[in-house]
Chain A
């Protein structure tokens, strides 16, 4: 092959690789454009304040209303509760893996976490209907289809995310810090709680925020156990509809303003996820500095 054609191939290859690398950016841009183009027209008919601060969601009434406050609150309750359940378990596991685990035990534990993270959400949903819903019904009352059931399922789903990321940052704490603490006469627990966890704080926070993002965006599993009533949630055992559930439930039948209100719901979700990610990027940058 002569040099010129080799150069041409070289240049062509480079362009192809760059184009591929730009696919992700383009996708993000297109997703944003398409969803916003569909969602923004909502506000021609529905004032932004009504959309955000009204709890009245009745798209098929004679005088339709499109308020999503109930769904925002439900999303917050579900994700908040799931973090509450998942954090102690996952931090304990992360500490155990980073500081104590060795040999076969550690291998089994790691393998379990990997497998847990691979289980599809539809399986969690099915397990939720068959086990978690009756459990919540029998223990906490109500009909079982509740925000609490959704939160329990989500808590299991986000365990691996928190464990993996926070383990990395706990392992990264400099051994000299640990040794200094032990040399000063602190017990292992004191070392963990006063030295190691605080120094790994930014990583742990990042892991929680990532988990939050995963929980808030989860659809299938919560859809099957959440009850889906478009009500303002009064307690964890009451039924509720999260933002994602609202999109999926009505999408198949919606038209007109109703349809664009659903895309506006997706916009809200999009903003939320974006904000969380900016936070993570910001937090990790600070740590790197």
Chain B
């Protein structure tokens, strides 16, 4: 009994010690940002850099998706929300203010056995509408097309639908693997024969490393120059959204993102800086 008591005491001490070590930092003020999973890589790199300059704050970024982020911002759970979609009129009316922090292209990526390197916008729309079901029909291998899409209410899903399918007046096929994050889309494309999907530009590397490829659209490669010039057709803006005017740490953080270092981080994370 005594021995066990001593053992328990030691464990408790270690735990206490670890907590105490952690709680040295309790003088810090904690903030929770969150939202779009596309903005997450920027936020997750920018936050440590920002904290290094402002040692009194501790920030976490929760990957929730644009819509939930915006909703939780309204509810007050988050103090700043990342969004990869435009705000709805109702959200703007509720006093939310978006600040553009970066541009992003949506890459279309395919599995390695597809045998295709380029698609036109019309072909892309037909594929995602389910009108074209075999790669043969667009000049590739004889292989059934497997669509990989994002969950319905993600910002990426919304942007892709708006830019590619709505313009072609087509409906997105429901016969598709649904993935929760950009990275999951990328890994599923990479591991499923015949797969095609859309991902934020930064995630292309996951696919190419696994042997898949990122397509050119109408012969244009998804890169920073082409998105800024407007040559690459599937692009969008990324926002940090605040409830009312930016103030306090939220403002400092957005200013940091828009500054030289912040925009370097944007570039480093695979997105396109504003300047």
Interface set of A (CB-CB < 8 Å, partner B): 58-60, 129, 133-134, 137, 143-145, 227-231, 239, 241, 249-250, 252-255, 258
| Interface segment out of the listed B174-182, B212-220, B222-230 | B174-182
A-B contact pairs, 10 of them (CB 8 A): A143-B193, A145-B177, A145-B192, A228-B178, A228-B179, A229-B176, A241-B178, A253-B64, A253-B66, A253-B151
In the complex, A157 Cα to B111 Cα: how many Å?
31
**Residues of B contacting A133 with CB < 8 Å?**
191
Residue numbers in B under 8 Å from A134 (CB-CB): 191
B175 touches A143 (CB 8 A): no
**Distance (Å) between the CB of A112 and the closest chain B CB?**
30
B38 at interface by CB-CB < 8 Å:
no
Given contacts A143-B194, A144-B192, A253-B68, contact A258 B174 (CB under 8 A): no
**For residue A250, which residues in chain B have a CB less than 8 angstroms away from its CB?**
151-153
Measured between C-beta atoms, what is the minimum distance from B148 to chain A in Å? 9
* B180 contact from A143, A252, A254, Cβ within 8 A: A252
A252 and B152 within 8 A (CB): no
Flag B170-207 by CB within 8 Å of A: 1 or 0 each.
Answer: 00001111111000000010011111000000000000
Shortest CB–CB separation between residue B11 and chain A, in angstroms?
A: 22
Q: Is the CB of A230 within 8 A of B174?
A: yes
In the complex, what residues of A have CB within 8 A of residue B192's CB? 137, 143-145
Q: A228-B177, A252-B64, A252-B180 are in contact. List 7 more A-B contacts (CB 8 A).
A: A60-B152, A143-B146, A231-B175, A250-B151, A250-B153, A253-B151, A254-B153
| B67 and A255 within 8 A (CB) | yes
Q: Is the beta-carbon distance between A249 and B193 smaller than 8 angstroms?
A: no
- Bound Cα distance from A160 to B10, whole angstroms: 36
Are the CB atoms of B178 and A249 closer together than 8 Å? yes
A253 touches B177 (CB 8 A): no
- B174–A59 contact, CB under 8 A? no
Residues of the B chain whose Cβ atoms lie less than 8 Å from the Cβ of A252: 64-65, 68, 151, 180
Q: Which 5 A-B pairs have the closest CB atoms?
A: A253-B153, A228-B178, A253-B65, A60-B152, A143-B146
B55 to chain A minimum Cβ distance, whole angstroms, is 32
A249–B67 CB distance below 8 A = no
Task: Give chain A residues whose Cβ lies under 8 Å from the Cβ of B193.
Answer: 137, 143
Closest chain A residue to B145, Cβ basis: A143
B175 touches A229 (CB 8 A): yes
Contact B177 A59 (CB under 8 A): no
B177 touches A60 (CB 8 A): no
Instruction: From the candidates B154, B174, B194, name the one contacting A229 in the complex (CB within 8 A).
Output: B174
- Contact check, A255 vs B71: say whether CB atoms are below 8 A apart: yes
Look across to chain A and name the residue whose beta carbon is closest to the beta carbon of B176. A229
Q: What's the minimum C-beta distance from B262 to chain A, rounded to whole angstroms?
A: 26
Which of the residues B67, B71, B151, B177 comes within 8 Å of A227, measured between beta carbons?
Answer: B177
What chain B residues lie within 8 Å of A241 (beta carbons)?
178
Whose C-beta in chain B lies nearest to the C-beta of A223?
Answer: B180
- Give Cα A60 to B155, complex, Å: 12
Judge whether A229 and B68 touch: CB under 8 Å: no
Q: In this complex, which of B64, B174, B179, B194 has the most chain A Cβ atoms within 10 angstroms of its Cβ? A: B174
Kindly report which residue of chain B lies nearest to residue A256, judged by CB atoms: B71
Candidates B153, B179, B194; contact of A60 at CB < 8 Å: B153
Per-residue CB contact flags for chain B residues 220-261 toward chain A (1 = under 8 Å, else 0) read 000000000000000000000000000000000000000000
B171 CB, nearest partner CB in chain A, Å = 9
Residues of A within 8 A of B191 (CB): 129, 133-134
Q: Which B residues touch A228, using CB under 8 A?
A: 177-179
CA distance A253 to B180 in the complex (A): 10
Flag if A230 contacts B178 (CB, 8 Å). yes
CB distance from A116 to the nearest CB of B (A): 26
Partner of A231, one of B154, B158, B174, B179: B174
Min C-beta distance of A163 to chain B, whole Å:
33
A84 to B251, CA, bound (A): 58
Nearest Cβ on chain A to B249's Cβ, whole angstroms:
25
Establish whether residues A253 and B154, one from each chain, have CB atoms under 8 Å apart when the complex forms.
yes
Within the assembled complex, what's the spacing in Å between the Cα atoms of A227 and B146?
11
Give min CB distance, A186 to chain B, whole Å: 53
Instruction: Give the CA-CA distance A129 to B177 in the complex, in Å.
Output: 13
Mark B149-161 against chain A: 1 for CB-CB distance below 8 A, else 0: 0011110011000
Contacts of A239 in B (CB 8 A): 175, 177
